[in-house]
Homo-oligomer: A and B are copies of this chain.
Amino acid sequence: MTGWVRIAGLGPGGDALITPEVSDVLAEATDIVGYTPYVARIAERPGLTLHASDNRVEIDRSRHALDMAYEGKKVVVVSSGDPGVFAMAAAVFEAVEAGPGHWRTLDISVLPGITAMLAASARCGAPLGHDFCAINLSDNLKPWSLIEKRLRLAAEADFAMAFYNPRSKSRPEGFVRTLDVLKEACGDTRPVIFARNVTRPDEEIKIVPLPDTTPDMADMRTIVIVGSSRTRIIERDGAPIVYTPRSTPE
Contact = CB atoms under 8 A, between A and B. Distances in A.
**How many chain copies does the complex carry?**
2
Interface stretch (A30-38, A149-157, A184-192, A205-213): A149-157
A110 B122 contact: yes
A85 interface: yes
A20 B241 CA distance: 24
Contacts of A126: 83-84, 89-90, 93, 110
A215 interface: no
Interface stretch (A46-54, A168-176, A242-250): A242-250
Contacts of A125: 89, 93, 110
Contacts of A133: 131-134, 154, 157, 159
Given A89-B126, A93-B234, A247 B142 contact: yes
A119 interface: yes
The dominant DSSP class at the A interface is mixed
B246 A86 contact: yes
Contacts of A131: 133-136, 150
Contacts of A96: 234, 241
Interface residues of A, number: 75
A16 interface: yes
A122 B112 contact: yes
A117 B156 CA distance: 24
B129 A86 contact: yes
A141 interface: yes
A214 interface: no
Contacts of A123: 110
Nearest to A91: B246
A230 to B, nearest CB: 10
20 contacts: A15-B20, A16-B19, A20-B20, A84-B121, A85-B128, A85-B129, A89-B125, A90-B243, A104-B234, A105-B236, A110-B125, A113-B114, A114-B114, A131-B136, A132-B133, A133-B134, A136-B246, A141-B246, A141-B248, A153-B157
Interface of A: 11, 14-21, 24, 58, 82-87, 89-91, 93-94, 96-97, 104-105, 108-115, 118-119, 121-123, 125-136, 141-143, 146, 149-150, 153-154, 156-159, 232, 234, 236-237, 241, 243-248, 250
